[in-house]
Structure 1
């Protein structure tokens, strides 16, 4: 299993880095759009849309909404398709804080299922638009965001194993600890400093950029936890089997779906990078 996971991880890294650095923004956008639809297919299954026709309609709906959002963002120059994603993840933080896995009966379970179906739209559409936007600004920003979320995840894992004592979200993911989260935040600071230097961000904006990276890393944890909620509700260990040793598409992009809209809006709001 470990050997399979490592091989898949290396192949994914090569494919992703090549796509980000070598593809023009149009083709990169199509690739991200395809990944978004693959994630929608898995999301629909986890939400109980087991009939292929119903799941196909769900994916088609997300495709249409994503295309509309892309047109609004790049054709009309509107930010609100991404702003909705930022607001959504603020709401997710509240939902995660009050999540009760035992409440699965009656109307509450019924409405929770419909809520998760809608959550797929709010999760995948803004993330797709944000990643395409970041690539148009500068492809290296996409790689930086991917490495930022990976750094936070790895640091949280190792810090949690070494120092973990207090559970972060025991009702959702018993393996995550507060000490692990703190370790992730500590690791992000030097990574943010490296990013500020690489992107030649004005010195006056370094503090803002570091704070943005910290907030982005925190929100990426929410993305991970929310997918855990989705899988818990479905009684599934992984979102799919497409990636041997890693699970499905959602298992690889859960943190990124939350981080991308927040990172982009922070850059634009703080005028850190040119729009």
Structure 2
């Protein structure tokens, strides 16, 4: 299984990273819309949208706004969506501890809410990735690698040391030890990157703290998708990626991490705030 995961990640992830690092913003926008389209299709299935029509409509409800926001100059709407996204993930963080297993199987009651949640979660994530890339492509590369390392560190630490469940009612396999292992991996990576980028000590400290926050927030995205799968009675969101499951299974952490990372960079003035179009 691990070998298959590595082969799939190398075959698909490395070319995508190369495009993000050196490709034009328009190409990255199309890549993001493609990934989000596939992830939304899977999300629709988990939400109980049966048939190509309803799931296709959900794909359009996510993809069209992301495409429109990606080609438009940065305006007040972009900042409004970013702010609403932060509020959304704050609500998710507050609600996660109260989810209980006996609610599983309520897809009929919650399907419409989960479909709306797809728009609330995926549109800001796509907008944030394209916005970040327009400012500095390496920031998107950093974010992708950071989230991947957080997940990898958590996986190996959990396998070796995991004893205490992190969220037993949502994802029993995740452990507190795994979370700490993932955060230690994030810290090590952030320190190396801060040094490589020549950040002064204060900026490096702020960058490090923001990276740790992103490591934590990425777990929220993962856990929220776990709720979707639990409600749907599914192990994976799909089967498109051998060894990984579906697109959403690989993109869930990024959905939460991207808008928070962008907002943190702007608020902490680690990147210049772009001028707002009239």
Query: Quick check: TM above 0.5?
Result: yes
Give, in angstroms, the shift of residue 231 of structure 1.
Answer: 0.8
Q: What SS is found at the alignment partner of 1:102?
A: helix
Give, in angstroms, the shift of residue 257 of structure 1.
Answer: 0.8
Alignment of 1:133-212 (within 5 A): 133-212=131-210
Report the counterpart of residue 62 of structure 1 in structure 2: 62
Alignment of 1:1-275 (within 5 A): 1-70=1-70, 74=74, 78-104=78-104, 110-275=108-273
Deviations 1:68-122 (A, max 9, x none): 54466625574121222222111111121111121257xx765422221111111
Q: What SS is found at the alignment partner of 1:44?
A: helix
2:165 and 2:77 map into 1 onto residues whose CA distance is 43
2:3 and 2:104 map into 1 onto residues whose CA distance is 38
Give, in angstroms, the shift of residue 152 of structure 1.
Answer: 1.2
Deviations 1:149-191 (A, max 9, x none): 1111111122222222211000111111111112222222221
Q: What SS is found at the alignment partner of 2:50?
A: coil
**Number of equivalent positions:** 273
Tell me which moved more, 22-31 or 76-85.
Answer: 76-85
1:2 and 1:200 map into 2 onto residues whose CA distance is 35
Runs of 4+ in 1 over 4 A off after TM superposition: 108-111
Q: Aligned-pair RMSD on alpha carbons?
A: 1.9
Deviations 1:35-56 (A, max 9, x none): 1111111111111111111111
2:224 and 2:143 map into 1 onto residues whose CA distance is 19
Cα distance change of structure 1 residues 174 and 23 upon mapping to structure 2, 3 Å threshold? same
Cα distance change of structure 1 residues 202 and 3 upon mapping to structure 2, 3 Å threshold? closer
Contact 1:40/1:120, CA 8 A, preserved across alignment? yes
